[in-house]
Amino acid sequence: MEPEVMSSFFYQEIPCNKNLDLCNEFLDLIDELNNNLEQLHLPKKVECVYNPTIYARNTFEMYIRNYCNTKKRIMFFGMNPGPWGMSQTGVPFGEIESVRNWLHITGPVGKPPKELHSRRVEGFNCSRSEISGARFWGLFKKLCGKPENFFRSSFVYNYLPQQWMRSNGANVTPGEFSALDMTALFDICDPTFIKVLEIYEVEIIIAIGKFCEKRAQKALKKYLPESKIQILYLPHPSPRAVNNTNWEEKALESLKNFNLLQYYT
């Protein structure tokens, strides 16, 4: 389904300001995850798969080496790449303008092995904007000013590095299937999620959407039953969510109630 996962260093060397070993450990986990996902038998509904941690590896690594190079108290936990966000840029919630102009990440983006005409990967030349990413990073741009002020305590991690689609380009997510249908996926992705929590010494998970909240609860119960890690829920910024036109207001209220605004203002 995917091409062979290549070394973390097959693109030009990207400087990591701090803790090179931590960056490499995380990237090795992603390589291992992608190799394991090669063996996954997907439901028939899933007819095409994009994995930007492979074909957009250059900019994905820039995100990791520039911003995920220290221990983090808080993980914002997302589900998987969106067609006009991470699938174009390699960055979680990677709306192009936010990635280029706020995170200051840009670079070459390759192509998936099978590309759909209706969901072409154009990298930073893509003219479409991802609303979810614009809302998410837009909020923290307002709160933090500089991205370093967000990443001092926090980072964003996606449960699954793949975008799933039908042959017509319609998006398909793991949340659309029964837990039974997704058991094999959970057996692959849950342990990686736990390892990421451990290497970054995460204390608080902010689950973005109900799927991620439930997945975090299940994984911690199974693999870290004695853990003191908190799981907090944040509505997903997708415009597809019902009554979600005021997502920024809801997110601010949630961060205030969680007593977390102190980390971003």
Q: Could you list the beta-strand ranges (E) of the chain.
A: 48-50, 74-78, 154-158, 163-165, 171-172, 204-208, 230-234
Residue 10 lies in a domain: no
Are 234 and 205 spatial neighbours (Cβ–Cβ below 8 Å)? no
> Torsion angle of alpha carbons 214, 161, 107, 89, nearest 10°?
-50
pLDDT value, residue 142: 98
Mean pLDDT of 161-183: 95
The helix-helix angle for 20-37 and 183-200 (nearest 10°) equals: 180
DSSP assignment of 57-89: HHHHHHHHHHHSSS--SEEEEE-S--TTTHHHH
Number of domains in the chain: 1
Range with lowest mean pLDDT among 9-23, 178-192, 197-211: 9-23
- Digit-coded pLDDT (tens) for 16-64: 445 789 999 999 999 999 999 999 999 999 999 999 999 999 999 999 9
Nearest alpha carbon to residue 209 among 154, 265, 247, 152: 247
Distance between CA atoms of residues 203 and 14, nearest Å: 28
Distance between CA atoms of residues 215 and 42, nearest Å: 18
Domain that holds residue 30: 20-80+146-263
Looking at the predicted structure, is the pLDDT value of residue 9 above 80? no
Quote the DSSP letter at residue 165.
E
Residue 11 lies in a domain: no
Nearest alpha carbon to residue 91 among 50, 122, 133, 146: 133
- Digit-coded pLDDT (tens) for 125-161: 999 999 999 999 999 999 999 999 999 999 999 999 9
Distance between CA atoms of residues 207 and 93, nearest Å: 14
Nearest alpha carbon to residue 33 among 222, 198, 179, 191: 191
| Mean pLDDT taken over the chain | 93
Long-range Cβ contact pairs of 7-11 (< 8 A, separation 24 or more): 8/61, 10/57, 11/57, 11/58, 11/61, 11/108
Assigned token pair, 174? 């793991």
pLDDT value, residue 69: 96
- Digit-coded pLDDT (tens) for 58-109: 999 999 999 999 999 999 999 999 999 999 999 999 999 999 999 999 999 9
pLDDT value, residue 206: 98
Residue 122 lies in a domain: no
Whole-Å CA distances, 76 to 2, 125, 126, 141, 160: 26, 27, 25, 15, 14
Residue 13 lies in a domain: no
Residue 228 lies in a domain: yes
Residue 95 lies in a domain: no
Q: What is the CATH number of the domain that holds 174?
A: 3.40.470.10
- Kindly tell me the sign of the dihedral angle through the C-alpha atoms of 17, 21, 22, 27: positive
pLDDT value, residue 168: 94
Q: Is 78 left (phi over 0), alpha (psi -120 to 50) or beta?
A: beta
Residue 118 lies in a domain: no
pLDDT band at 8; cut points 50, 70, 90: very low
